[in-house]
Structure 1
Amino acid sequence: MGSKRRADYYDGPAHDYVSYWDGRDYEHAAEEVAIRKLLGDNMFEHAADIGGGYGRLSLLLRRYAERVTLAEPSKRQLDVAADFLAGHPEIERLQTQADDLAFADGSLDLVTMIRVSHHLPTPAVEFAELSRVLVSGGTAIVEVANVAHARNRLRYLLRRRPLPVKPVDIRSPENRHDGEIPFVNHNPHVVIDQLAAVGLRTVRVLSVSNLRSRTLKRVLPHRTLVALESFLQPVLAPLFFGPSIFLLLRKR
C-alpha cells in the first residue's frame, strides 16, 4: 500500500523521548499496571509494540510473548532502542509505520499501540492495519488520548457545550502548522466504533493516569500513588475519567 504518513517527527535532536520520561515515573507505572491487568496470565507467540519509541514498554511485553518486535517509524528512536534494549537481544527492532505495517496478514497474536493515537487525527487506516496483521482471535491493546476526561467534561459542561465527536487539536496556536507534530484528543466512544468497524471488538476498558497531578506526585509516595491508580483503573473506566483510556480488543 505504501505509507502516506510522515514518520520522522521524532528523528530530530529536539525530541529526546528518553528525557521526556524523567519525572514521569507515575505515568509509566500506571501504563504498566494497565497492561498487566489487561493481559493477565495470558501468553502469546509474537507481540508487536506499534510506535513503541525506544522500547519503554517492549520490555514488559517480553513477559507475555515468546517473541517481541518493537515496530517504530523513527530511525532515531530505534537507534536509542539499540542501547536501551542492549541487554535484551530477543526483542527485535523494525522500522515501519502504523499505516503500512511490515508484517504479513495474520502474523501476530498480540499488538499494542500506546501513546500513538494522539498523533493520529484520522486513525482509521492504522486501526485497519492492526486488524490486518492480527490472527483471528488475536489480542490488541490500544490507548486513547481521551477528550472526555473528567476535567474536560467539566469545562464543556460549564460552557454548555457537548463533548466533541471529532478529534480535538490540542496544540498551541503557534504550533498549528505543517511540519509540526499533530497532537489530538479523541472521543473514546468514536474510537471504539472505529475499531469495531475493522473487526476489533472491545472486551475491556481501563481508565489510566487518573491521578496525574503535580501536587499529588509531591505529597503522596510513589508506591501509594500507584496502588491507588491500580484500584481506580477499573472503577473509573465506565466514566472514561482519566486522560488516557486503555482498550483491550479481540479480533473477530
Structure 2
Amino acid sequence: MTDEKPSKKVADQYDRGYDYTKYWDNRDYEHAAEEIAIRRLLDGRHFGRAADVGGGFGRLCLLLREYADHVTLAEPSLTQLEAAKKVLAGTDVEQIQMQADDLQFDDASLDLLTMVRVMHHIPEPSAEFAEIARVLKPGATALIEVANYGHFKNRRRYKKEGKPLPTEPVSIRTAPADEPDAIAFVNHNIDTVVGQLSSAGLHLVDKLSVSNLRSERLKKMLPMSVMLAAEKAAQRRLASRDFGPSIFLELRKNGS
C-alpha cells in the first residue's frame, strides 16, 4: 500500500457566496493609500510583463498597466474573475485562474509581480515565495504587501506587557471558522517574512508603511484629501518602524 499525499488546498474560499467587491465599500482611503505606495515604489520605471497575483477583481491592474506593457490578473477565485470582467472591460489585461503556490507562468518570464492583500491568508508562505522566485526574471521586481502584526498599537501593547513580539504568524480571526478548511486570517512578523523571502532568493530593496491612518473615527473627522496628504508624507518616514497595519515590501530576484 502506498502512502497518500495530502490533498493540495485550493484557494477557492471567495467562491463561497462572499462578494469581495463589497468589502471595498467605504474603503476609498485604504485603496488610495495602496495606490500611493505602488506609484512611489515603481516611480520612473517601466516593465515588460507583469502579474498581479491574487488580485481579486482587478482592483490594482489598471494601475499596473501604466507601468507594464502586458499585465495578467492571476486569481484563484472564479467569482472574482467574473467580477473582473466588468472592472477590466475594454482593456488588454489578461485574466487567468491560478493560485499563488502554482503560478501558470514559465520560469523567469515576468519582469514585475505584485501580491497585495494575499499574505494575510497564508500562514506559511514558503511555497508561494518559491513560485514567485521561479517566475521572475533575474533582477526582476516583486511588490508584496504584508499584514503587519508588529504595527504601532501591538508594539506598544507588547512593550507595556514586557513581552517580545511573536515571530510566527498570529491568527486574527474574530469568529469561529464556519468550515473545516475555512480561509486563514493571519498577521505576520515583518522581519520573519523578509527572512523567508531572502531564503527564496528575493532580497529587500525598499519598504513602506501603508494605511497608517486606518481608523473609522479619522475617516469621519478628516477630509479625504487631508488623510491622503498625511498618508503620503508618512509612508516612508514610518517604514523603518513598521508602524502601519500594512507593509509594502519591494524585492529583487537574485541575479543581474
Q: TM-score, normalised by structure 1?
A: 0.96
Mapped to 1, the partners of 2:25 and 2:175 lie a distance apart of 27
Q: Deviation at 1:12? A: 1.7
Q: Cα deviations across residues 23-46 of structure 1 (Å, max 9, x unaligned)?
A: 000000000000000001100001
Cα drift, residue 173 of structure 1: 5.2
- Unaligned stretches of 5+ residues in structure 1: none
CA deviation map 1:15-62 (0-9, x unaligned)? 111111000000000000000000011000010000000000011000
Matches within 5 A, 1:103-252: 103-172=105-174, 174-175=176-177, 178-252=180-254
Structure 2 distance, partners of 1:5, 1:120, is 11
Local SS of the residue matching 2:180: coil
CA distance in 1, matches of 2:61, 2:48: 14
Query: 2:123 & 2:178 partners in 1: Cα distance?
Result: 13
Output the CA distance in 2 between the equivalents of 1:87 and 1:23. Answer: 26
Would you identify which runs of 4 or more consecutive aligned residues in structure 1 move more than 6 Å? none
The sequence identity of aligned pairs, in percent, is: 56
- Separation of aligned partners in 2, 1:247 and 1:24: 22
Residues of 1 paired with 2:173 and 2:215: CA distance? 20
Kindly state the Cα deviation for residue 87 of structure 1 after the two structures are TM-superposed.
2.5
> Matched residue of 1:193: which SS?
helix
Q: Distance in 2 between matches of 1:222 and 1:190?
A: 34
Which one-letter code corresponds to 1:59 in the other structure? L
Residue-pair matches, total: 249
Q: Is the 8 A contact 1:120 1:182 kept in 2?
A: yes
Residue matched to 1:26: 29
Q: Provide the aligned C-alpha RMSD in A.
A: 1.4
Q: Deviations over 1:49-82 (max 9, x none)?
A: 0000000001100000000000000011001101
Q: TM-score, normalised by structure 2?
A: 0.95
Aligned residue number for residue 53 of structure 1: 56
- For 2:181, the aligned partner's letter is G
Name 1:10's counterpart in structure 2: 14
Q: Which runs of 5+ in 2 are unaligned?
A: 1-6
Cα distance, 1:223 vs. partner? 1.0
In structure 1, what is the Cα distance between the partners aligned to 2:176 and 2:166? Answer: 22
**Over residues 105-158 of structure 1, what are the superposed CA-to-partner deviations in whole Å (9 max), with x where a residue is unaligned?**
001000000000000000011011111000001000000100100011112122
TM-aligned CA distance change 1:193 to 1:10, over 3 Å: same
Q: Is the 8 A contact 1:5 1:99 kept in 2?
A: no
CA distance in 1, matches of 2:71, 2:9: 24
Distance in structure 2 (CA, Å) of the matches to 1:173 and 1:39: 37
Residue type of the partner of 1:81? A
Q: Amino acid of the residue matched to residue 67 of structure 2?
A: Y
CA contact (8 A) 1:4 1:99 kept: no
- For residues 175 and 210 of structure 2, the distance between their equivalents in structure 1, rounded to whole angstroms, comes to 28
Partners of 2:158 and 2:205 in 1: how far apart?
29
Matched, 1:65 2:62: no
Offset, 1:174? 1.8
Residues 1:82 and 2:85 aligned together: yes
- Distance in 1 (CA, whole Å) between partners of 2:214 and 2:41 is 21
Partner of 2:45: 42
Q: Distance in 1 between the 2:179 and 2:190 partners?
A: 26
